[in-house]
């Protein structure tokens, strides 16, 4: 029995959204200088990553690491084909981000009532209104810009503990109705497990269909990759991750960084799922990160172990 004449199915694909320059850099005490941020983003883009969250538009007094985000955006826009993304907590941040020329905005909205008040001093309902206002602003000023809402603390909260799944789903529905193009689920504090990830994303797909967005997993308890795979298995195709797991380190107490981009790309490529990312170039980009943040711990099992003997990537920059 031969399958030789059957047309080859196109390889499955995922979008890896690199969030290190935002989520990673805002989690470390040191501030990476502007030139180093630009060099790191250049190296990340050269690896084939097609979406990078380059910073956030937040008050400088709260996050001095992000003070130069507008300049970082303008630099990143030089890369043709790169989706330049920024986080904005409110309408004012969105105005600055649109002014700088981003392609995509992401707005964090806490599923945990306690986290929402502590983080942005707004209720969840007020944040849904903020998303609605940002969508209106986008429609008026930059209709091509995509607006993503990221449901943070969707899998648990360090302040209130468990977050009821019904509340997470209801919030995702409210955000989709408010006009968000995509609604992702974020394990902000690294409390998720694969069964929970599978269940909650399935409920999201049932409730808001194709508006279901990225899985944003943290590796706090070592389950980042398992959680990404669980999300992939139920249909998620966009994954946030951070080079070197920046912002957290398995050898340091209180590790809380994102899932490691290098390990995530390796997992998918080894499975035959295309990421468009060249692993050798991605490993090389770690040097730009190290140069910009000397002494900051970064990790990643795959870059430390090396690629397995005989491992060959079929395509890069796909």
Residues in touch with Zn ion (CB under 5 A): 23
Nearest to 115 by CA among 151, 62, 161, 157: 157
Coil, helix or strand at residue 16: strand
Work out the end-to-end distance of the chain between its first and last CA atoms, rounded to an integer number of angstroms. Answer: 32
157 is catalytic: no
Nearer to Zn ion, 23 or 278 (CB): 23
Nearer to Zn ion, 19 or 70 (CB): 19
CA separation for the pair 134, 107 (Å, rounded): 9
Q: How far is the CB of 127 from Zn ion (least distance, A)?
A: 17
Would residue 308 be called left, alpha or beta, if left means φ above 0 and alpha means ψ between -120 and 50 degrees?
A: beta
Q: Name every residue whose Cβ is closer than 8 Å to that of residue 266 and which is 6 or more positions away in sequence.
A: 279, 302, 307
CA distances from 3 to 6, 9, 233, 273 (A): 5, 12, 26, 21
Would residue 265 be called left, alpha or beta, if left means φ above 0 and alpha means ψ between -120 and 50 degrees?
A: alpha
Q: How far is the CB of 22 from Zn ion (least distance, A)?
A: 9
CA distances from 102 to 108, 110, 180, 202, 264 (A): 17, 23, 16, 30, 25
Nearer to Zn ion, 247 or 276 (CB): 247
Q: How far is the CB of 301 from Zn ion (least distance, A)?
A: 20
Residues 26 and 56: beta-carbon distance below 8 Å:
yes
Q: How far is the CB of 240 from Zn ion (least distance, A)?
A: 7
Q: Name every residue whose Cβ is closer than 8 Å to that of residue 173 and which is 6 or more positions away in sequence.
A: 207, 208
Nearer to Zn ion, 23 or 51 (CB): 23
Q: Which residue is nearest to Zn ion (CB)?
A: 23
Q: How far is the CB of 49 from Zn ion (least distance, A)?
A: 17
From 157, 204, 228, 249, active-site residue: 249
Nearer to Zn ion, 32 or 259 (CB): 259
Q: How far is the CB of 141 from Zn ion (least distance, A)?
A: 27
Nearer to Zn ion, 23 or 262 (CB): 23
CA separation for the pair 16, 279 (Å, rounded): 13
The residues that are catalytic are: 249
């Amino acid at each position: 029995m031969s399958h030789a004449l059957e047309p080859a199915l196109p390889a499955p694909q995922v979008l890896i959204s690199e969030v290190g320059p935002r989520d990673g850099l805002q989690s470390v005490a040191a501030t990476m200088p502007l030139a180093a941020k630009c060099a790191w983003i250049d190296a990340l883009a050269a690896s084939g990553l097609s979406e990078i969250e380059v910073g956030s538009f937040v008050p400088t007094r709260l996050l001095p690491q992000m003070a130069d985000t507008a300049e970082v955006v303008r630099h990143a826009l030089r890369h043709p084909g790169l989706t330049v993304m920024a986080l904005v907590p409110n309408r004012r941040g969105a105005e600055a981000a649109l002014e700088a020329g981003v392609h995509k905005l992401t707005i964090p909205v806490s599923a945990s009532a306690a986290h929402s008040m502590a983080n942005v001093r707004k209720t969840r309902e007020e944040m849904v209104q903020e998303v609605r206002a940002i969508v209106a602003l986008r429609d008026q000023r930059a209709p091509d810009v995509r607006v993503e809402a990221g449901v943070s603390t969707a899998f648990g909260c360090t302040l209130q503990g468990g977050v009821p799944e019904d509340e997470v789903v209801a919030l995702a529905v409210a955000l989709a109705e408010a006009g968000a193009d995509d609604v992702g689920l974020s394990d902000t504090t690294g409390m998720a497990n694969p069964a929970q990830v599978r269940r909650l994303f399935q409920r999201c797909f049932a409730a808001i269909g194709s508006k279901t967005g990225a899985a944003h997993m943290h590796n706090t308890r070592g389950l980042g990759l398992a959680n990404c795979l669980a999300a992939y298995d139920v249909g998620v195709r966009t994954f946030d991750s951070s080079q070197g797991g920046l912002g957290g380190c398995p050898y340091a107490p209180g590790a809380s960084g994102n899932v490691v981009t290098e390990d995530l790309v390796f997992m998918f490529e080894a499975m035959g799922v295309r990421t468009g990312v060249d692993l050798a170039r991605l490993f090389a980009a770690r040097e730009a990160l190290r140069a910009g943040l000397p002494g900051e711990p970064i990790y990643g099992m795959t870059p430390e172990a090396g690629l397995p003997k005989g491992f060959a990537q079929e395509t890069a920059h796909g």
